[in-house]
A and B are shown apart, each in its own frame.
Chain A
Amino acid sequence: MSPHPYAFLAVFAAVAVAFPLAALGLAQLWFRLFQPAKPGDTKNAVYECGLAPTGDSWIQFKAHYYLYAILFLIFDVELHFLLPFAVAFTTLPAGALLAMLVFILMLAEGLVWAWHRGHLEWT
């Protein structure tokens, strides 16, 4: 009986989990057995490239760039799906063309929405 063709994935997953767990466990064991903890005010402080930290590290980042991320995603996803589609175009049935048109229509809708809201005016 030959192993399942995807059995190696299970082996990979097991190794991928076991290896870091073993390393972390060994480090923890070493810490318990030999190495005393050396905490310090400076060591536990927020890291700011060596400068004295000011304020809290839990600050809110500006989310205004999400629009650019969405616009980028429209073209990026479009490219990722259109290129394989174009390569295999001659062998595909008519249904695939229809599905692709619907897909492009949905993406174009997002672009139209952004255009309508005035997000494409850069200046």
Chain B
Amino acid sequence: MSDAAPPSPEITDAERAELRRHGILLTSIEELYNWGRSNSVWPLQFGLACCAIEMIAASMARFDIARFGSEVFRPSPRQADLLIVSGTVTKKMAPQVVRLWNQMPEPKYCFAMGACAISGGPFKQGYNVLKGIDRYIPVDIYIPGCPPRPEALLHALITLQEKIRGQTISGRDVPRFLRPDATCDYPVPEFGAHDLEPPQNPDVWRPPALVRKEGA
């Protein structure tokens, strides 16, 4: 017992569970805050392509996204927390997506739903398709599939809820939206003569660099 750690002021999970068995609920503002907002993630009512059909199916009675508190699809970005990029983002559409993302209040989250939103998918070689929305927007969860089934969207939502519950509201590791110096205005690309300008947001995404080792 000589090398025992000094008693921590933090309460352990076992002690918390023991208290809960006796009907005492211990919590902190951080936990309460995260619990509240993780259970009321309101998506933006925004569909782009066939993935949106799966998103609609997820919001209907069979899959019932309301079980996770996300049934309130907001028609205005001012009231939305979650941008589900559900489908192919053409280069003509990309500025609108980024502008909508900018108009959402913090904290906000983004799903890249389906192969197209992740990488351009089957249209990756097309001249008019953006090769992944993560070139302009920080994506929280990628949902693979073509299109992903509603269960995959629900799984992404559960994963996002876990992510939100893990966020802190003070200290060094606070998320971006709680840092006073971090900007949340992402540059909106313009539809130029040949391509979107700029072709990507270097703060969010950089093209993978090929590094050749000497003598290899």
**Interface positions of A (Cβ within 8 A of B):** 30, 34-36, 38, 40-43, 45, 47, 49-52
Contact = CB atoms under 8 A, between A and B. Distances in A.
Contacts of A38: 105-106, 177, 183-185
Contacts of A41: 185
Given A34-B169, A50-B96, A51-B96, A40 B178 contact: no
Contacts of B183: 38, 40
A55 to B, nearest CB: 16
26 contacts: A34-B169, A34-B170, A34-B178, A35-B177, A35-B178, A36-B178, A36-B179, A36-B180, A38-B185, A40-B102, A40-B183, A40-B185, A41-B185, A42-B103, A42-B185, A43-B102, A43-B184, A45-B103, A47-B78, A49-B96, A50-B99, A50-B100, A50-B103, A51-B96, A52-B95, A52-B99
Contacts of A40: 102, 183-185
B188 interface: yes
Contacts of B33: 30
Given A38-B105, A40-B185, A43-B105, 20 more contacts: A30-B33, A34-B169, A34-B170, A35-B177, A35-B178, A36-B179, A36-B180, A38-B177, A38-B185, A40-B102, A41-B185, A42-B185, A42-B188, A43-B102, A47-B77, A47-B78, A50-B100, A50-B103, A51-B96, A51-B99
Interface string B106-150: 100000000000000000000000000000000000000000000
Contacts of B96: 49-51
Interface of B: 33, 76-78, 95-97, 99-100, 102-103, 105-106, 169-170, 177-180, 183-185, 188
Nearest to A50: B96
B178 A42 contact: no
Which 6 A-B pairs give the minimum distances between C-beta atoms? Answer: A40-B185, A50-B96, A42-B102, A36-B180, A38-B184, A50-B100
Contacts of A50: 95-97, 99-100, 103
Given A35-B178, A50-B96, A50-B97, A43 B169 contact: no
Contacts of A35: 106, 177-178
Contacts of B178: 34-36
Contacts of B177: 35, 38
A41 B186 CA distance: 10
Contacts of A45: 103
> Among the interface residues B76, B103, B169, which one has the most CB atoms of the partner chain A within 10 A?
B103
A59 B178 CA distance: 36
A51 to B, nearest CB: 6
Contacts of B78: 47
Nearest to A40: B185
A50 to B, nearest CB: 3
Centre residue among A36, A41, A51 by max chain B CB count within 10 A: A36
